[in-house]
Amino acid sequence: MTRTHWCAVMAVCSTVWWGMFSMSHHVSAFGGDAAKGKVIYQAKCVTCHGPEGKGDGPIGKALKPPAGDFSSAESKKKSSDELQNLIANGKPKTAMMAWNKQLNEAEIQDVLAYVLALRK
């Protein structure tokens, strides 16, 4: 194999490897399972946020400030990272508690995937 062929093979292999790495990173960063998230959401979030994420759960209506409405224009402006941070760490001066002690990272990603589905 000539030096030129060797360099070409290495370039292709490097490109494929980096492509696989970046793809797997993207999947792990936003690869939550909305179906699993729905189960967690119904068990832990529906009381405040309501069954469709409109902030109209039995407790959510009475909260000051009210529970977040995922279908609102304000909520739709939030990035996935912002929403993940809110789920994991809560929101100061509101009833939104931090879930990072009760849910693992995969479960938080699952809830995030479901919340993103509710925003549509």
Q: Count the neighbouring beta carbons within 10 Å of the beta carbon of residue 55.
A: 20
pTM above 0.85, yes or no: no
Q: Count the neighbouring beta carbons within 10 Å of the beta carbon of residue 46.
A: 17
DSSP string, 32-73: --HHHHHHHHHHHTHHHH-TTSSS-STTGGG-SSPPP-TTSH
Tens of pLDDT, residues 15-32: 444 444 333 333 334 689
Tens of pLDDT, residues 44-76: 999 999 999 999 999 998 999 999 999 999 999
| Range in 1-5, 58-62, 69-73, 87-91 the model is least confident about | 1-5
